[in-house]
Structure 1
């Protein structure tokens, strides 16, 4: 049973420069919930790893964050899937913590919680820091074009990074799920 690590904002739900601050503002991207449910039903553990600096900035509180995550879990469960765990960094960009992506602290915590190595698993994100985090733990970086993904792809084309040259790129989480499930079926 493979763990698939997903960023949240811009991958699963619409992102906002003003931050997603409430369950009402938390709006899933088209197809993302169904994609998560399909991956889960196929036996894969979905783990969310997300920076949530809005907490440190006082834009929302822990109850608001938990309400957003309860909404996300309920939607995935209603679609027949399950989210195995949600890990988040509550710190601001200047707090110099270990858990804020692109540092690998969130992935370290996932490994400890699940008593496994994430080496070789897929990590899906829309920002450069997601891809850098994946590489730091030996994960396969996946870029989706939703959220900030188009800008990230343009940046990678303008400023090629030898480590990120093998990053898989997909239109959205649904396209990644389709690819992943086809690959899994072909190798079994």
Structure 2
């Protein structure tokens, strides 16, 4: 099958923080998320992460810190029997005018080029409107999880129909693989 499935990071895979996740020690997986990724991978999905990391531009952490967080995430997924096909991040701040900061679809363009595939009709799982908007711009199927900032996002109301809403990544994966 090898269908693409795109995950946001903070608030979907790991605990989010309004003060930014700045170190490998602060990168704490949401219970069940690592196993959920492994199950997706085992079911034939190409799982990738697309994440805004403006903490780099803001000077809250260094690239080495981000690399260490992503290595930890990948190691945990591999230990659970799964695989991440890639981790794509935007290092820019909100005023940098880049095309990769979600809601712009540039990260998804990078994923398509790197994996030589189309993201159209792939699931994109996020906890914020900007995650879903980036996916919708590329024809993805949006999924909102209530972890992280998901409940706040839902409370504001979703401006578009056909968004699947799940309690967590684990809940979504249970539903998808049922």
TM-score interval, smaller chain: over 0.9
- Do residues 168 (structure 1) and 164 (structure 2) align? yes
Post-superposition offset of 1:108: 0.5
Moved over 2 A (4+): none
1:120 aligns with 121
Name structure 2 gaps, 5 residues minimum.
none
**Rg larger in structure:** 1
1:111 aligns with 112
Other structure's SS at 1:50 match: strand
Other structure's SS at 1:117 match: coil
1:53 aligns with 54
Post-superposition offset of 1:170: 0.2
Normalised TM-score (structure 2): 0.98
Other structure's SS at 1:86 match: strand
Post-superposition offset of 1:42: 1.0
Give, in whole Å, the separation in 2 of the partners of 1:67 and 1:149: 26
Post-superposition offset of 1:15: 0.5
Give, in whole Å, the separation in 2 of the partners of 1:105 and 1:134: 10
- Do residues 180 (structure 1) and 176 (structure 2) align? yes
Q: Which deviations, in whole Å up to 9, do the C-alpha atoms of 1:46-76 show, x marking residues without a partner? A: 1000000000001111100000001000111
Match runs of 1:1-188 below 5 Å = 1-156=2-157, 160-161=158-159, 164-182=160-178
Give, in whole Å, the separation in 1 of the partners of 2:139 and 2:97: 22
Corresponding pairs, count: 177
Normalised TM-score (structure 1): 0.93
Post-superposition offset of 1:120: 0.2
Give, in whole Å, the separation in 2 of the partners of 1:77 and 1:116: 23
Give, in whole Å, the separation in 1 of the partners of 2:121 and 2:44: 17
- Across the aligned residues of Structure 1 and Structure 2, the Cα RMSD in angstroms comes to 0.7
Give, in whole Å, the separation in 1 of the partners of 2:137 and 2:146: 22
